[in-house]
A and B are shown apart, each in its own frame.
Chain A
């Protein structure tokens, strides 16, 4: 045992994992944005004031989740190297967050469509930066 103590390393090499474990996917934002799109469709198709009021409330909630998911990708997943590769990364994330706000304000399907297309642009950068291999199991 003395020998073991003698040969034991004096220092540690951390092969560690923080929590959160770095799972990111724009699909999260996309699903919530699709919900917004469908809710707006149903809102326009309904004459029921109670239903319409509920639709607005749920849309508000979902659009807020979209913003949250975009922010997490923007702040936590994307790195300076990715901005180098995709110079419009910041602008796209910023526009997407703004578009999510627009979806909160309005019941215009065009706003929801615009949000979806911006999320798809973020998705392309995520895929192009190796996101699926690096962050998903």
Chain B
């Protein structure tokens, strides 16, 4: 747990945009476990941080809604279905590109807690 928190601290990220509302809001600060894929493969319902296939320098936060091809490919979507650009626009993403799994919100204090 402590090791997970330490390594997640180095990969922490700020949420930009509203496509994950209501669970995540713009301005939320999250701990992101960069080794989440090592312990187990991404599963349906997981939050993931993945490079935007159309602009790899930009990281997207989305939720896995389908896993296929033996776990190699992920269909990722936003929680706010009417305000999201996701796999419905850019297709599936390779599971190997997942940068990490956000699991804990440490800011703002009023919304502190697990997000996964």
- Residues on A close to B: CB < 8 A? 7-18, 21-22, 76-77, 79-81, 133-135, 137
Contacts and interface: CB of A to CB of B under 8 A. Distances in A.
Contacts, number: 93
Given A10-B12, A21-B83, A15 B20 contact: yes
A16 B13 contact: no
B88 A8 contact: no
A17 B106 CA distance: 24
A13 B78 contact: no
Given A15-B16, A81-B75, A9 B82 contact: no
B3 interface: no
B116 to A, nearest CB: 14
B59 A12 contact: yes
A17 B19 contact: yes
A16 B15 CA distance: 9
A97 to B, nearest CB: 22
A13 B13 contact: yes
A17 B49 contact: no
A13 B18 contact: no
Contacts of A76: 89
Contacts of B19: 15-17
Contacts of B102: 13
B18 A12 contact: no
A81 B68 CA distance: 10
